Amino acid sequence: MNIKIFSLFPEMFQGALTESLLGKATQKGILNFEMINFRDYATNKFQHVDDTPYGGGVGMLLMPEPIVYALRDHIAPEDNTPIILTSPQGKIFKQEDANRLAQYDSLAFVCGHYEGFDERIRDYVTDEYSIGDYVLTGGELPTMVMIDSIARLIPGVIKEQASYEEDSFYQGLLEYPQYTKPRSFEGKEVPEVLLSGHHENIRRWQKKEALRRTYQRRPDLLANYSLSKEERKLLDAVIDEELQKN
């Protein structure tokens, strides 16, 4: 996958895209990142890319020319590459969006910045996403977050493709509690069932505990989750147990 990133601060991506799994995937040729600084497309001699808002108001807005000219210079009109703008006004980015975007051969990200951008820029992008209901100083971190969640779905980026298929949000529930060595840590024991070697009992325990965790922490996910007969029975047992605790 080729990923073009349009940002005023390309050096911010050093590390996030060059280290660990994404760095290794780049070395293997699975991922390719292109950094484009749209300040290079500013139309004034001072290379300004933002200006004050018409109608007054505090802060500065990114002007349309630098971004639009940079997009036009790097993405052909007939290209079906998704052009993704990051901003607090975007659709909340979810796993299903990562799953969809991971299917493309190329993606482009426009990092919003300062206090916002000229509305006309929205006519030149295909998607607008927010990573959450809070305001950041720039769109670079949201772009890194989205790229990370998308790239890990591309074959060869993470070792075990199956591992993401068991991911929390990939299946619509939160992950069950996981344990590794030692068996006993400061008096805290690994659940016996996980040491039993009885795979069916382990599978059922993991499913029940995923339902419990989702019930406790994210009832909204449960509301959208289609329960199998077994899961319905396990969830009923979880609810009974939780009600008895309180």
Q: What is the CA radius of gyration of the chain?
A: 23
64 vs 138, which CB is nearer to ligand 4H4? 138
d(CA 153, CA 161): 8
Nearer to ligand 4H4, 8 or 42 (CB): 8
Residue 114 token pair = 């300062």
How is residue 186 written in tokens? Answer: 């400061």
The residue from 88, 148, 177, 218 that is catalytic is 88
Q: Are 110 and 67 in contact (CB under 8 A)?
A: yes
Q: Catalytic residue at 123? A: no
User: By C-beta, is 128 or 209 nearer to ligand 4H4?
Assistant: 128
By CB under 6 A, name the binding residues for ligand 4H4: 86-88, 112-113, 115-116, 130-132, 134-136, 138-139, 142
51: helix, coil or strand?
Answer: strand
Please tell me the distance from the alpha carbon of residue 84 to that of residue 169, in angstroms, as a whole number.
22
CA pseudo-torsion sign 5, 7, 10, 14: negative
CB of 88 to ligand 4H4, least distance (A): 4
If one counts every other C-beta atom within 10 angstroms of the C-beta of residue 92, the result is: 10
Question: Given 50, 152, 212, 231, which residue is catalytic?
Answer: 152
Question: Half-sphere exposure (CA, 13 Å, Cβ side) for 85?
Answer: 25
Of 5 and 210, CB closest to ligand 4H4: 5
Q: Which of 65, 97, 115, 175 is catalytic?
A: 115
Minimum distance from residue 129 beta carbon to ligand 4H4 (Å):
7
Active site residue 128: no
Q: How far is the CB of 33 from ligand 4H4 (least distance, A)?
A: 19
Q: Which residues pair with 110 in a beta bridge?
A: 6, 85
Residue number with CB closer to ligand 4H4 (150 or 173): 150
Q: Which residues are 138's β-sheet partners?
A: 113
Min CB(189)–ligand 4H4 separation in Å: 41
Least Å distance between CB 133 and ligand 4H4? 7
CA 33 vs CA 23, 25, 107, 197: distances in Å = 10, 11, 10, 44
**Which member of 65, 118, 148, 167 is catalytic?**
167
100 is catalytic: no
Is 152 annotated as catalytic?
yes
Name the residues annotated as catalytic: 88, 115, 152, 167
